[in-house]
Amino acid sequence: MPTITIYTTAVCPYCVAAKNFLKARGASWQEVRVDNDLAARAKMLHEARRTSVPQIFIGDRHVGGYDDLVALDRAGGLKPLLEGDA
């Protein structure tokens, strides 16, 4: 299973929703808080080219935010990524 990284902030309902969504699919992740770590925020901006949270990476692939994660799942693309088949 590839490493999942989620860039979050403390007060972010979409971050909570993304973590719950992944948890329901049996996934675990590394959470990186960007509200109290300027270097982590800069890294997120460089890698995702977005300022909003959550920003979700599965392995080296940038999935996007919560809505992107759900859309990927509905299109059938999340399960292969989580299993390392994509």
Structure tokens belonging to residue 44: 């997120």
Higher pLDDT, 35 or 84: 35
With bands split at pLDDT 50, 70 and 90, how would you rate the model's confidence at 86? Answer: low
Reference 16, options 78, 29, 3; nearest CA is 29
SS (H, E, C) 11-61: CCHHHHHHHHHHHHCCCCCEEEECCCCHHHHHHHHHHHCCCCCCEEEECCE
Average pLDDT over residues 19-24: 96
**pTM (2 decimals)?**
0.93
Q: What are the residue ranges spanned by the domains of the chain?
A: 4-83
Question: Regarding the domain with residue range 4-83, which homologous superfamily does it belong to in the CATH classification?
Answer: Glutaredoxin (3.40.30.10)
* Residue range 34-72, pLDDT digits in tens: 999 999 999 999 999 999 999 999 999 999 999 999 999
With bands split at pLDDT 50, 70 and 90, how would you rate the model's confidence at 1? Answer: confident
- Rounded to whole angstroms, the Cα distance separating 54 from 33 reads 10
CB 78 within 8 A of CB 69: yes
Q: How far is CA 79 from CA 5, 22, 39, 73, in A?
A: 16, 10, 31, 7
